[in-house]
């Protein structure tokens, strides 16, 4: 039986993305252009390798009350069961119910934006999505009506090209990650030339809380960090991608069904629930 060297394939994938990000960082000098270029590079990479059930775009997330998130550099969202994605004036507006994951993109994880470190800046973006109202409703599965399911978790992280400062110590980075809690907590991220990381949390959703939205908020308010794990630098992008895929497929699954009447209320219309 012939075999293929998976390690060599992963190394090739790693080199392709590193090359793209390095070119953008080194030769584009205008701050706005460099930021857009980096975001586009990450978006194109994720679009290429993620299964087609996931869409990837820069977007603003909205809810049925008309509330909006901050502008999010990368949103991974459902395009199979979420029935409408608004595009207007160059922006995508995605219902909160369809969101799987969100990321802030920065050149340097050790840098700062608008007076705060980039970890905190990313955490504020993540919070602006997680705090939006998400509806859930019953669905038909295998011919049977199923009760509304709980809200899925929205994973959040940061993607950067490099880590300035000490290349041997993670303590400052860990300190910034540990400072984010509740809806601001960060799940994982990738520093292309340094390594990927994930934050291992302790805490489970409380099934005794019957209000679905309160149960979701309770989960985030009570989970605490157990440890933060970093990959080897030479495996940064591969380990990030494997971690992302595991979250999407084995931890989140499919987003809950959206209650379309909640959105119809915005135009004072009623839609029929039954045939």
Which positions are catalytic? 73, 104, 106
CB 257 within 8 A of CB 137: yes
Sorted by sequence, the CB contacts under 8 Å of residue 178 that are 6+ apart come out as: 225, 228
Pair 125, 92: CB distance under 8 Å: no
Q: In this structure, how many other beta carbons lie within 10 angstroms of the beta carbon of residue 255?
A: 23
Burial (CB count <10 Å: 0-12, 13-18, 19+), residue 206: exposed
Other residues' Cβ atoms within 10 Å of the Cβ of residue 262: 18
CA distances from 232 to 22, 192, 199 (A): 18, 11, 16
Indicate the angle between helix axes 118-130 and 171-178, nearest 10 degrees: 30
Q: How far is CA 195 from the centre of its chain?
A: 18
Alpha-carbon gap, residue 121 to 117, rounded angstroms: 6
Per-residue three-class SS string for 171-199: HHHHHHHHCCCHHHCCCEEEECCCEEEEE
DSSP character at residue 61: E
């Amino acid at each position: 039986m012939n075999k293929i060297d998976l390690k060599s394939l992963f190394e090739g994938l790693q080199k392709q993305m590193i090359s793209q990000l390095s070119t953008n960082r080194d030769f584009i000098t205008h701050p706005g252009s460099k930021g857009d270029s980096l975001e586009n590079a990450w978006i194109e990479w994720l679009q290429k390798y993620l299964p087609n059930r996931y869409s990837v775009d820069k977007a603003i997330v909205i809810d049925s009350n008309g509330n909006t998130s901050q502008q999010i550099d990368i949103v991974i969202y459902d395009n199979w069961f979420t029935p409408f994605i608004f595009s207007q004036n160059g922006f995508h507006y995605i219902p909160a119910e369809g969101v799987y994951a969100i990321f802030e993109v920065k050149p340097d994880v050790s840098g700062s934006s608008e007076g705060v470190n980039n970890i905190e800046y990313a955490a504020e973006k993540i919070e602006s999505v997680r705090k939006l109202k998400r509806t859930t409703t019953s669905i038909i599965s295998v011919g049977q009506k199923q009760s509304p399911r709980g809200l899925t978790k929205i994973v959040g992280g940061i993607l950067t090209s490099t880590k300035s400062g000490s290349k041997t110590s993670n303590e400052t980075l860990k300190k910034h990650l540990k400072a984010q809690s509740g809806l601001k907590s960060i799940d994982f991220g990738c520093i292309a030339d340094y390594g990927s990381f994930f934050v291992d949390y302790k805490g489970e959703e409380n099934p005794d809380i019957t209000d679905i939205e309160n149960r979701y908020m309770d989960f985030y308010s009570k989970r605490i960090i157990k440890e933060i794990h970093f990959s080897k630098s030479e495996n940064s992008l591969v380990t990030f991608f494997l971690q992302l895929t595991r979250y999407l497929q084995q931890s989140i699954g499919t987003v809950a069904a959206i209650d379309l009447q909640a959105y119809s209320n915005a135009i004072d219309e009623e839609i029929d629930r039954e045939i």
